[in-house]
Copies of this chain bind each other. A is one copy, B any other.
Amino acid sequence: MAAQSPDLARIIARLAADMAHEPQRGRVADYIPALARADADRFGIAVLTADGQMHVGGDADHGFSIQSISKVFTLTMALNRIGARLWQRVGREPSGSAFNSIVQLEHEQGLPRNPFINAGAIVVSDVILAGQTAAAATAEILDYLRMLAGDPAIAIDAEVAASEAETGHRNAALASYIKSCGRLDHAVADVLQVYFGQCAITMSCRQLARAGHYLMAGGRGPHGEVLVPPDRARRINALMLTCGHYDGSGEFAYRVGIPGKSGVGGGILAVVPGRASIAVWSPGLNARGSSMIGSLALERLAEAMGWSVFAA
C-alpha cells in the first residue's frame, strides 16, 4: 500500500467542500430541544491514520452529542469487566428491527439481540453499574472517553441528559421489560441514569477519531499502549459492521464497507482496520437515524481510498 497521507489530506479537503453543497441533508432529530437546535448545514470530519497523523475538515472541532456512538465504548468497558460472560446477557446478531423495537425482546424473553440497539446498551449499562452508584458509573464512562480521546475536557451535556431522562419513555419501556424478565441486576432508574448520561456526552470529530484509535490499531492507543487485546478490537469491529446502524446496517456495509457506529446526534465513528479511525458529523439524519451527509462522506472516502474491507 502506497503512502496515503498526501492524497488523504486532499481528499478530505475536497470532501468537506463537497459536503457543504449537498442539497439532501436529512432531518435533524427533534425529540429533545438540544438536538433540534443543531444546524443541518454543519459537516465535520476527522481521520486519524495508523501512522498517527490526524487530518480534519469542516467543523471537526465542533462538539456534538455522541448519543449511540457511546455504545461502542461502553461495550468495550463491559467486555473489559466481565469478558465473554457478557454474551449470556446480550446477543451478537443483527436485529433486523429499529433501534428501539421492543417486539424482539418479547419474542426472546428479554435477551437483547446485540449491544448496539438500545435494549442491548441498557444491559451493558447494568454491567457497568455493578459495585457502584449510577453517578460513579457515569463518571467512569466519562473518564474512559476522556482517557481514550486524551482530552480531560470532554463532558456530559447536562441539558441533553435531563431531556433524555424526561422524554425517554421508550427506553424506560425497554429497561422495564428487561427488568421484568429478571435480566437487570440494578434498579431501572439507575440503569437509565447511566444510559442517558453516556448518550449525552459531547465530543468533536477530532476527539472521537482519537478515541477510536484502539479499534483501528489492534487494541492499542495512540501511544502504543495496549487498551484491549487485538481479538477484542477485531470483534468489536465485526459487531459494528453487522449491527452498528440498526436496521440500516446492511445498507451501510453494502455502500461503505467499513465498521461504523452512528448516533442520532449526527455523528458516525468508522474504523478501517489497520488504516484509520474516522469520525464524521452532520446533524441531518436519514430514515434509519444515521447521518445522511456523514454516511455519504464515508462512502466517498472509502471509495476514494479503497478502504472497504470487502475490496480486493
Contacts and interface: CB of A to CB of B under 8 A. Distances in A.
A242 B249 contact: yes
B94 A238 contact: no
Interface stretch (A69-77, A124-132, A172-180): A172-180
What copy number does this chain have within its complex?
4
B274 A311 contact: yes
Interface size class of A (residues with CB under 8 A): 35 or more
A242 B253 contact: yes
A235 B176 contact: no
Given A103-B106, A106-B102, A311 B218 contact: yes
Contact of A177 (B169, B237, B250): B169
B254 A238 contact: yes
Interface in A254-294: 254, 257, 259, 273-274
A73 to B, nearest CB: 17
A65 interface: no
A308 interface: yes
Contacts of A103: 102-103, 106-107
B242 A250 contact: yes
Contact of A257 (B96, B101, B188, B234): B234
A186 interface: no
A275 to B, nearest CB: 8
Contact of A173 (B50, B173, B216, B273): B173
B96 A97 contact: yes
A113 interface: yes
A309 B310 contact: yes
Given A91-B250, A169-B179, A274-B311, 10 more contacts: A92-B254, A94-B249, A102-B173, A217-B312, A233-B312, A234-B310, A234-B311, A238-B310, A239-B253, A241-B253
7 contacts: A103-B103, A169-B179, A234-B310, A234-B311, A238-B253, A238-B257, A242-B250
